[in-house]
Structure 1
């Protein structure tokens, strides 16, 4: 059953599969509690509100006997850090440069789940892709897919770090894999690359300083000292992934819908700043970027304009100083003040 399951999962588009028990992480609840108690989750209240389930996968669905973790690569074909040297252009995280991974990964998970039910009638399943209180990365490490690196993202010796995770909880008893151990050694490339010093220590992250959190999850005015360090990163940040040496073994992406849309690899800040709500929705239809809305997106673009040192972008920012959204208007005024006359 295990061999056939893995073979079918690869046919469905996944690069690797691992299995663990729902109770494989007895230390998880304490780790999560410490993270929340120190306030490192920022404004992500959902982490604290559903901590009982998030810290104990066995409590999420008590009938589950196995957790099948699957990895699907989205490895970029271009250098994702090259755009950082072009201040008039916007840096968008690789995973968001085309279709929303939630829909694509869930579709494959359901296909694998249906196959499992066909093979073992009476089996029940639940599939999860980053939208439920499931700690995918620790579970994936327990299932042997890889390990959480010093940047807290998952790494695999045969996967690199450019991959999505999906989980299938099932009532079927399946043989488990040995958990993976860290192979980061003395390397600290990811820690040194972080523009905002978001890692208090190796294997720890403070979301409040992470550019991915600031540009996606946080809706208010970003503190001045942090917005200055964001550079031209307007949606997410790939720095800690892009410098990881393990990515020389990165698995190739097989899904064409993950291949970056040309217009999203290095878009012009001047064009993105002028998007109204209908234009924003049209440009990012089917994209995970659509979730943050026009106002938060344009706020991020204005921070990048303010960091550009390009006076030619000042008139673009000036058109937004009276924007109806107060956070956008404040970001525009800040950008104008940074670019001088």
Structure 2
């Protein structure tokens, strides 16, 4: 006989699949004991750079019961963004996650549909949706939920589909069946560490955020440091190097979310097009895009640095 916890878990996972999530794993909400000293050490070494928001809400980052009253379960969800078409070879590069519409909006709508469906099918369930702008350690929860392991490049990796996906959560006040973590399959591979041009992966499983190309091209608002000149490998927004070289990403499959498809104009851009981009073109090609975060001014700063 199926108990309620198993029944509700099956409902949630079936709905997640129906809404287009790649996979769904569930953990018991509580304090992340193993992550606490790691996060504290990372912050003490100032590896957050100017991402000062990482210093905020330390306790909440480690304990979802401080974010949602009477939280019982963390439902972790993956959604694929690996593209079927790629940028022109003669182009400044942007991270694949930024090819389409802003994922925050796309995924938040799916999460809200999932929460509504849970309430409709199960009853009086309370919770909140999260997609990387709240103090939630999403990779830690996804790993705890058995969706993959955190690799040497600090990304969540799965054997079946690699690492090109977004991670989101529902934190709810409903007890469910909980999944078990998987094992680490990085082995002796150091491809990500060896390939990082700015040596941001300072040790296996430790990324100094203040040395990462994604940090420089997106988060850093000051002038780019001259000692990094020539090390960005034509990345103008974000960087995928440590994922592109990961052997597990040979199993990546194209997504099926139309809103993540790239504007055809972006795919045909040459370096000359990037260098001459106008406000009008930027707004047209990157309407509701993650690139809006840097604004045209920031993008031009990055491109000038790459020339």
TM-score, normalised by the number of residues in structure 1? 0.84
For residue 7 of structure 1, what is the aligned residue in structure 2? 14
Preserved CA contact (<8 Å) 1:36 1:48: yes
- The equivalent residue for 1:220 is 222
Compare 119-128 and 134-143 and name the one that shifted more.
119-128
Give how far 1:145 is off. 0.5
- Residues 1:251 and 1:117: Cα distance change in structure 2 (over 3 Å): farther
Q: Secondary structure at the match of 1:290?
A: helix
Whether contact under 8 Å (2:125, 2:174) holds in the other structure is: yes
Point out 4+ residue stretches in structure 1 off by more than 3 angstroms.
Answer: 274-279
**d(CA) in 1 for partners of 2:240 and 2:120?**
40
Provide the residue aligned with 1:73 in structure 2.
80
- RMSD of aligned Cα (Å): 1.7
Aligned to 1:69, what secondary structure does the other structure show?
Answer: strand
What is residue 53 of structure 2 aligned with on the other side? Answer: 46
Partner of 1:327: none
* Match of residue 174 from structure 2: 172
Answer yes or no: is 1:144 the counterpart of 2:151.
no
Match in the other structure for 1:299: 301
Q: Summarize the alignment of residues 278-297 of structure 1 with structure 2, pairs less than 5 Å apart.
A: 278-297=280-299
Count of residues in correspondence between the two structures: 300
* Alignment partner, residue 93 of structure 1: 95
Separation of aligned partners in 2, 1:139 and 1:119: 25
1:131 aligns with 2:133: yes
Assess if the C-alpha contact under 8 Å between 2:27 and 2:179 holds in 1: yes
Unaligned 5+ residue runs, structure 1?
306-341
TM-score by length of 2: 0.93
Corresponding residue for residue 204 of structure 2: 202
Deviation, 1:21, is 1.5
SS at match of 2:153: coil
| Equivalent pair of 1:232/1:303 in contact (CA under 8 Å) | no
CA contact (8 A) 1:158 1:251 kept: no
SS in 1 for 2:256: coil
Instruction: Report which structure shows greater RCO (CA 8 Å, sep ≥6).
Output: 2
